[in-house]
C-alpha cells in the first residue's frame, strides 16, 4: 500500500515537470522559426521559475535588448544559482560597460567555479580593463600553468607588464606568445611597436611585414610601417600603401594627413593640399593640418595665405606651438613685416625655450631691424651660452657678430660685457 501511495505522489509531482518540459520544447521549436513574439507571449503566461526567466533572458539577448536580458537573468538567478546563466549575465554587464558589477560577478563566479578556465580568462581581461595589473597578472600566470599552449595568456601578460613598467618582461612575454602562435596578429603588432620604441628598425620591420601578410588592412600595422617609411624618406611607398588603405578606410584622419605630408615631401603640392583639406574637415582640432597647409602656401610663395594658415594653427593648437610661431615669423619676414616677425620669434621662444633656431633668428632679425645693436648682442650671447654645441655654423656666425658688435661699440668708447 505504501509503495502504491509513493508511486502516485511521484507521478503527481512529475506531471507538472513533464508538462513544463513539453512547453519549453515547444518554445524552443517556435524560437527556431524566429517567432520571438509568440515565444515571449507563452513565457509570460508561465509561472515564475528559473527556466522561464532564463529563457526570457536568452531571447532578449538575441534581440540585443540587453537591459531586459540583464533583468531577466537577475530574476532567474534570484531563484536559483546556475553557472552558465551567471556567466552570461556577467558577459552582458561587461558588454554594456557596467564594469564594476561585471567584475564583482566574475570574482564571485571564480571563487565558486575554480576549475572553470573561461571564467578565469574573462576575469583576467576585466582586471586588465580596470587597470588592476597585479590581479590580472596572477590570473594569467595561473592560466598559463594550466595551459602552456595558449598564446593569449603570455600576450595578456605582456600587456600587464607594460602597465607595471616592466618593459623587458613585456617584450619577453610577447615573444613567448609569438613562439606559441606565429600568426597571432595582435602579438605581431605589439612586437612591432615594442621594437619601434627600442629603435630596432630591422626587428620592427620583420614583425610589421609578418603581421601585414596575415592582415593586409590592419590599421595600426599599416600606420607603423607608413611612419617608418616616412622617416626613411620612402615617400612614394607611403603614398602607394596609404592610398590602398584609403580605399578600405576612406574617412581615416591619419591616412589623409600622412598622404598629405608624403605628397608634400614629393613636391606634389596640389594633391597634398587636397588631402590636408579633407583631414582638416575630419578633425578641425588638429592644428598641425593648418601648419602643413601653411607650408604648401609658403613653398608656392603665397605668403598671405601661409600667414593666415599659420595664425589659424596658433589659435587652434593647445600643445607647444613654437614651430607655428617660427614659421609665421619666417613668413612675415618675407612680407617685410620685420617688427611682427620679431614678435613671433619671441613667441616661439616663449612656447619652447629650447628652440635654438628661433633664438638665432631673433638675434639676426633684431640686428637688422633695431638701431640699438645691443639688443641683438644680448640675443647672440644667449644663443652661444645655451646652444653653442648644437649647430656649428650658426654658432660661428653668432660669435662673429658678437665680435663685430663689440668692436662697433668699443670704437664709440663703450665696452660691452
Residue 20 has pLDDT above 90, yes or no: no
Q: pLDDT digit string (tens) for 68-99?
A: 999 999 999 999 999 999 999 999 999 999 99
Most confident range, picked from 14-23, 36-45, 191-200:
191-200
Whole-number pLDDT of residue 19: 53
Give 69's contacts (C-beta < 8 A, 6+ positions apart): 57, 58, 60, 61, 92
Quote the CA–CA distance of 295 and 377 in Å, as a whole number.
31
Answer whether residue 56 is part of any domain: no
Q: Is residue 417 helix, strand or coil?
A: coil
Answer whether residue 387 is part of any domain: yes
Provide the whole-model pTM.
0.83
Q: pLDDT digit string (tens) for 365-397?
A: 999 999 999 999 999 999 999 999 999 999 999
Buried b (16+ CB within 10 A) or exposed e, 78-100: eeeeeeebbbbbbbbbbeeebee
> Where in the sequence is the domain holding 417, given as residue range(s)?
372-417
Answer whether residue 206 is part of any domain: no
pLDDT band at 40 (very low <50, low <70, confident <90, very high): confident
Q: Which of 11-15, 72-76, 110-114, 378-382 has the lowest mean pLDDT?
A: 11-15
Dihedral through CA 286, CA 288, CA 289, CA 293, nearest 10? 150
295 in Cβ contact with 327 (< 8 Å): yes
Answer whether residue 400 is part of any domain: yes
Whole-number pLDDT of residue 417: 81
- Tell me how many domains the chain contains: 1
Answer whether residue 388 is part of any domain: yes
Give 369's contacts (C-beta < 8 A, 6+ positions apart): 338, 339, 342
CA 99 to chain CA mean position, Å: 20
**Half-sphere exposure in the Cβ direction for 195 (13 Å, CA):** 21
Answer whether residue 408 is part of any domain: yes
Q: Which of 162-171, 210-219, 408-417 has the lowest mean pLDDT?
A: 408-417
Answer whether residue 136 is part of any domain: no
* Segments in 249-337 forming alpha helices (H): 253-265, 269-282, 287-299, 303-316, 322-334
Answer whether residue 403 is part of any domain: yes
Residue 6 has pLDDT above 90, yes or no: no
**Half-sphere exposure in the Cβ direction for 103 (13 Å, CA):** 15
Whole-number pLDDT of residue 17: 44
| DSSP conformational letter for 284 | T
Hey, what long-range contacts does 375-381 have (CB within 8 A, 24 or more apart)? 376/401, 376/405, 377/401, 377/402, 377/405, 377/406, 377/416, 380/405
Amino acid at each position: 500500500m505504501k509503495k502504491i501511495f509513493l508511486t502516485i505522489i511521484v507521478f503527481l509531482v512529475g506531471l507538472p515537470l513533464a508538462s513544463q518540459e513539453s512547453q519549453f520544447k515547444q518554445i524552443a521549436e517556435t524560437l527556431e522559426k524566429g517567432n520571438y513574439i509568440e515565444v515571449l507571449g507563452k513565457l509570460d503566461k508561465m509561472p515564475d521559475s528559473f527556466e522561464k526567466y532564463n529563457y526570457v533572458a536568452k531571447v532578449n539577448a538575441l534581440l540585443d535588448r540587453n537591459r531586459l536580458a540583464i533583468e531577466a537573468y537577475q530574476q532567474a538567478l534570484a531563484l536559483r544559482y546556475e553557472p552558465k546563466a551567471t556567466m552570461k549575465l556577467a558577459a552582458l554587464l561587461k558588454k554594456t560597460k557596467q564594469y564594476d558589477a561585471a567584475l564583482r560577478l566574475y570574482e564571485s563566479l571564480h571563487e565558486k567555479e575554480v576549475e572553470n578556465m573561461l571564467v578565469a580568462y574573462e576575469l583576467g581581461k576585466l582586471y586588465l580593463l580596470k587597470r588592476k595589473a597585479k590581479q590580472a597578472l596572477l590570473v594569467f600566470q595561473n592560466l598559463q600553468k594550466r595551459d602552456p599552449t595558449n598564446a593569449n595568456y603570455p600576450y595578456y601578460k605582456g600587456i600587464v607588464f607594460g602597465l607595471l613598467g616592466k618593459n623587458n618582461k613585456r617584450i619577453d612575454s610577447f615573444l613567448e606568445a609569438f613562439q606559441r602562435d606565429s600568426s597571432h596578429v595582435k602579438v605581431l603588432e605589439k612586437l612591432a611597436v615594442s621594437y619601434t620604441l627600442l629603435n630596432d628598425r630591422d626587428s620592427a620591420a620583420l614583425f610589421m611585414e609578418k603581421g601585414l601578410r596575415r592582415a593586409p588592412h590592419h590599421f595600426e600595422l599599416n600606420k607603423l610601417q607608413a611612419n617608418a617609411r616616412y622617416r626613411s624618406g620612402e615617400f612614394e611607398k607611403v603614398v602607394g600603401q596609404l592610398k590602398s588603405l584609403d580605399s578600405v578606410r576612406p574617412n581615416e584622419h591619419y591616412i589623409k594627413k600622412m598622404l598629405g605630408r608624403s605628397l608634400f615631401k614629393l613636391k606634389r603640392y596640389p594633391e597634398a593640399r587636397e588631402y590636408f583639406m579633407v583631414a582638416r574637415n575630419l578633425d578641425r582640432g588638429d592644428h598641425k593640418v593648418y601648419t602643413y597647409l601653411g607650408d604648401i602656401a609658403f613653398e608656392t610663395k603665397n605668403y598671405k595665405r601661409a600667414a593666415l594658415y599659420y595664425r589659424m594653427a596658433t589659435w587652434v593648437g593647445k600643445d607647444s606651438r613654437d614651430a607655428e610661431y617660427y614659421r609665421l615669423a619666417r613668413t612675415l619676414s618675407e612680407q617685410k613685416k620685420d617688427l611682427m616677425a620679431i614678435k613671433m620669434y619671441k613667441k616661439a621662444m616663449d612656447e619652447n625655450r629650447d628652440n635654438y633656431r628661433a633664438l638665432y633668428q631673433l638675434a639676426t632679425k633684431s640686428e637688422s631691424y633695431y638701431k640699438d645693436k645691443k639688443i641683438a648682442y644680448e640675443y647672440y650671447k644667449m644663443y652661444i651660452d645655451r646652444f653653442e654645441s648644437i649647430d656649428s655654423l650658426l654658432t660661428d656666425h653668432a660669435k662673429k657678430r658678437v665680435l663685430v658688435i663689440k668692436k662697433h661699440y668699443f670704437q664709440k668708447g663703450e665696452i660691452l660685457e
